[in-house]
Amino acid sequence: MRWMCFNLMLAFFLIGSTSIGQATVRLKDLVEFDGVRGNDLLGYGLVVGLDGTGDGIRNAPFTEDILSNILERLGVNVTGEQFRPRNVAAVIVTATLPPFARAGGRIDVTVSAIGDASSLLGGTLVMTPLNGADGTIYAVAQGTVIAGGAAVEGQAAREVRGVPTSGTIPLGARVEREVDFDLSGLSRVRLALRMPDFSTAALIETAINTHFGKRVALMTDPGTVVLDPGATGLSSIAHALARVENLRVTPQTRARVVVDQRSGTIVLGEEVRISRVAVAQGGLTLRVEETPLVVQPSPFSEGESVIVPRTTAGMEEDTQVGLAELRGGTSLSEIVAGMNALGVAPRDMIDILNSINAAGALHAELIVR
For 53-86, write each residue's pLDDT tens digit. Answer: 888 766 667 777 777 777 777 777 766 666 667 8
Kindly report the three-state secondary structure assignment for every residue of 11-29: HHHHHHHHHHHCCCEEHHH
Please report whether residue 15 resides in a domain.
no
What does the buried/exposed string (b/e) look like for 285-308 if buried means 16 or more CB atoms within 10 Å of the residue's CB?
eeeeeeeeeeeeeeeeeeeeeeee
203-214 tens-digit pLDDT: 999 999 999 999
**Are 90 and 199 members of one domain?**
no
Q: Per-residue pLDDT for 228 more than 80? A: yes
**Are 109 and 159 members of one domain?**
yes
Average pLDDT, the chain: 78
CA distance 241 to 211: 13
**Are 167 and 217 members of one domain?**
no
Domain ranges, residue 205: 188-253
**Are 263 and 247 members of one domain?**
no
Chain-centroid distance, C-alpha 55: 28
Q: Per-residue pLDDT for 138 more than 90? A: yes
**Are 150 and 63 members of one domain?**
yes
240-293 tens-digit pLDDT: 888 998 899 988 877 878 877 777 777 777 777 777 766 665 554 445 566 777
Q: Per-residue pLDDT for 187 more than 90? A: no
**Are 141 and 48 members of one domain?**
yes
Please report whether residue 91 resides in a domain.
yes
Question: CA 345, 261, 362 angle in degrees (round to 5)?
Answer: 75
Say what percent of the chain tops pLDDT 70.
Answer: 72
Please report whether residue 182 resides in a domain.
no
Sorting pLDDT into bands at 50, 70 and 90, what band is 1? very low
Number of H helices, E strands in the chain: 6, 26
Please report whether residue 32 resides in a domain.
no
CA distance 42 to 96: 9
Please report whether residue 26 resides in a domain.
no
CA distance 155 to 170: 35
Contact 88, 46 (CB under 8 A): yes
Closest CA to 211 of 249, 159, 184: 249
**Are 116 and 232 members of one domain?**
no
**Are 90 and 197 members of one domain?**
no
Please report whether residue 1 resides in a domain.
no
Please report whether residue 134 resides in a domain.
yes
2-54 tens-digit pLDDT: 434 433 333 333 334 343 445 788 988 889 888 788 899 999 999 998 888 88
Cross-strand pairs, 168: 110, 146
> Looking at the 3D structure of the chain, how many domains does it have?
3
